[in-house]
Amino acid sequence: MAKQRSPIPLDAAFSCPAGELLALVGPSGSGKTTLLRTIAGLYQPEQGHVACLGSTWLATERRYSLTPQQRKIGIVFQDYALFPHLTALANVQLALGHLPHSERTLRAKQWLANVRLEGLEKRFPSELSGGQRQRVALARALAREPQVLLLDEPFSAVDQVTRRRLQRELALLRQQISIPIILVTHDLEEATALADQICVLHNGVSLQQGSPEALFRRPASPLVARLLDRHNIFEGEVTSVNGQKRLQWGDRYLEVAVGLSDLPQGERVTWYLPPSDIVLHRRDRPSQGERENPVAATVHEMVVLGGITSISLRVLHGDMLRFDIATHAARRNQLALGEQVYVSLLAAGIHIMSGKHVAMSSRHMSSNNLSSNSQSSTNMPSHHKRNLS
Amino acid sequence: MDWTALSVSLRLAGLTCLFLLPVGVWLGRALATAHFRGKGLCEALVALPLVLPPTVLGFYLLQQFGRDAPLGSVWASFTGGGLNFTFSGILLASLIANLPFAIQPIQRAFENVPTNLREAAWCSGLSPWQTFLRIELPLVWPGILSAIALTFAHTLGEFGVILMVGGAIDGETRTLAIAIYDRVQAFDEQGAARMSALLLLVSLTTLGLVYGLAGRRRWVRG
């Protein structure tokens, strides 16, 4: 039955310790929402394992699965799924089934006050703004005192200003609750701003999990880099110069801080450089780090976006370096199309992606994460596997 | 005014609503939410009385109700009586003829309840039964009301099927609609006019009440 209904093959594993926020990011159709529904018990993958607070919620190998009612989850749906025939207060009250009747009204009022909706208890969802609805949904999700909070693109249905405010509120709320929070989003900026950990998904496969910083500096594969909207991905070859391993890139022999020593000479590799590790040399006077991998290039493209200028440089063999600098810095350096400039590629920033073993290394990473977190009793590891035959 | 006929009509319409309501809710919900083989066929069968001429439906029922037919003999073995030309017979015929009126509005109403409302209720800790009572039922209530109204009004006006299987036995199967026909046949235009006016009034009041009630929900607006 599940075979016909599911067009998405899944092979994903991730974990989230208590008090942390894990963002599942990926293009639409990458299985983010399906994974969230699996945690909630609304979807049953062929093979899967979900555990929270040390208790198992789903273990398909044992044919064990708790119902959504038995799992203590709070979920905010993309369209909030508020009950249209119930007031804001009644929507929250409904999730307080674990309390005696006499306490429910008071607690529901408290939850609404927590999300700054006092005075709007009697309103129906149709009488609330998008942002207010989202807050009611959040209050309802938290009212259950869940062991994990699941957020399915909770900011996608509101305008930009409201979104910023709600994101801020979520960041503040996180300081009050100490449960794992899993956020599904396709917005990288949102994930970077809110998440402690990001798990990158593609076609149902979890490619890499790590902190935003780690992911943006050291994406596990060209695919991850592409999904994270990274540029500066190049091909190179491992060579040796005076007994030292170097990365040959065009006619340059680049120093690399880590990752090169284990690779055999002659191996072709894909490498990545974060834009922050491209240092533009000042023209009037030499700057620090000038000796580190200096590269000559011509300015190919300059796009001014307010205070930031996005610059593309073409190096001799045709590859394109892309980075952003402050617009005033671009002016001071008198950058103009066709001009020749020098940049340093910082050796510490160069990240060698071993193209062949990508999947394995990312799997290894996430399982490391899982075991390192499993000492604390409040982690939320979940593992799903599904193959389409 | 044929008060006996009016009483037969009201009894028939009331009982038809009473019996069809649970069927309509159950089948309407199943057709709206479940996916199963033969669903299309099932929906076609439910809708069939809408397009089938009442006399055709009545003809087949008449055949099935006979004591030699399977349905008629089963009925006879349980009750000892026959179905043709009895109140039980026209009630059974009315139940079948009204299937689309009872099921379709409820099915449409269930189809309009977003799936994730059910899921949100489950995730809030509500059992499937609580979800049905506290979330689904209030949301499909207008559909249920219009199913009742349509079934009631349609039963009052049903003519062909009732005449085929019930004839026009006074106090047993002669409904108001048939009585009107009989009055006209007997050139009693005044009697027919009074009963027609009554039927018009009852139908209009029923529908007006139901639609008036259905429109009085604050949360629908906005």
Contact A38, A58 (CB under 8 A): yes
Q: What is the mean pLDDT of residues B83-107?
A: 94
Assigned domain for B221 exists: no
Q: What is the mean pLDDT of residues A271-287?
A: 83
pLDDT band at A8 (very low <50, low <70, confident <90, very high): low
Domain A2-226+358-385 has CATH 3.40.50.300: yes
Chain B hits for A74, Cβ within 8 Å? 123
Structure tokens given for A9: 């093959």
| CB-closest option in A75, A126, A144 to B219 | A126
Domain A275-346 has CATH 2.40.50.100: yes
Q: Which DSSP string do the residues of chain B spell out, in sequence order? A: --HHHHHHHHHHHHHHHHHHHHHHHHHHHHHHH---TTHHHHHHHHHHHHHS-HHHHHHHHHHHHSTTSHHHHHHHHHHSS-STTSHHHHHHHHHHHTHHHHHHHHHHHHHTS-HHHHHHHHHTT--HHHHIIIIIHHHHHHHHHHHHHHHHHHHHH--HHHHHHHTT-TTTT--HHHHHHHHHHTT-HHHHHHHHHHHHHHHHHHHHHHHHHHT--GGG--
The ipTM estimated for the assembled molecules is 0.83
Share of chain B above pLDDT 90, in %: 71
Strand pairing partners for B76?
Answer: none
Cβ-Cβ contacts under 8 Å between A and B: the total is 67
Sequence-separated (6 or more) residues with CB below 8 Å from residue A358: A207, A220, A221, A223, A224
**Mutant choice from A1, A77, A94, A128 vs B, greatest count of B C-beta within 10 A:** A94
Does A90 reach chain B within 8 Å, measured CB to CB? no
Domain of residue B92 covers 3-216
B119 → chain A, closest CA residue: A42
pLDDT reading at A93 higher than 50 = yes
Q: Do A68 and B139 touch (CB under 8 A)?
A: no
pLDDT band at A289 (very low <50, low <70, confident <90, very high): low
pLDDT reading at B65 higher than 50 = yes
Assigned domain for B37 exists: yes
pLDDT reading at A388 higher than 50 = no
Chain A hits for B114, Cβ within 8 Å? 79, 81
pLDDT reading at B144 higher than 60 = yes
Q: What is the mean pLDDT of residues A117-125?
A: 93
Does A129 reach chain B within 8 Å, measured CB to CB? no
- List pLDDT tens digits, range B105-132: 999 999 999 999 999 999 999 999 999 9
pLDDT band at B220 (very low <50, low <70, confident <90, very high): low
pLDDT reading at B222 higher than 50 = no
Structure tokens given for A380: 């939320």
Share of chain A above pLDDT 90, in %: 51
Does A4 reach chain B within 8 Å, measured CB to CB? no
Assigned domain for B222 exists: no
Q: What is the pLDDT of residue A387?
A: 34
Chain A hits for B139, Cβ within 8 Å? 84-85
Lowest mean pLDDT among A272-281, A304-313, A346-355, B25-34: A346-355
Q: Do A69 and B122 touch (CB under 8 A)?
A: yes
Q: Do B219 and A124 touch (CB under 8 A)?
A: yes
Lowest mean pLDDT among A5-14, A241-250, B91-100, B175-184: A5-14
The residues in A 135-174 lying below 8 A from B, measured between CB atoms, are 140-141, 144
Lowest mean pLDDT among A201-215, A284-298, A331-345, B154-168: A284-298
Question: In total, how many domains does chain B have?
Answer: 1
Buried b (16+ CB within 10 A) or exposed e, A95-125: bbbeeeeeebeebbbebbebbebeebbebbb
Structure tokens given for A185: 């989003």
Average confidence score pLDDT of chain A: 84
Structure tokens given for B178: 């048939």
CATH number, domain containing residue B45:
1.10.3720.10
Assigned domain for B87 exists: yes
| CB-closest option in B119, B125, B135 to A42 | B119
Domain boundaries, chain A: 2-226+358-385, 233-272, 275-346
B135 → chain A, closest CA residue: A83
Assigned domain for B101 exists: yes
At residue A28, what are phi and psi to the nearest 5 degrees? Answer: -65, 140
Contact A74, A146 (CB under 8 A): yes
Length of chain A: 389
pLDDT band at A349 (very low <50, low <70, confident <90, very high): very high
Assigned domain for B113 exists: yes
Measured between CA atoms, how close is A29 to chain B, in angstroms? Answer: 19
Which SS3 state, helix, strand or coil, does residue A24 take? Answer: strand
Q: What is the pLDDT of residue A288?
A: 57
Average confidence score pLDDT of chain B: 91
Q: What is the pLDDT of residue A287?
A: 59
Q: What is the pLDDT of residue B177?
A: 92
Length of chain B: 222
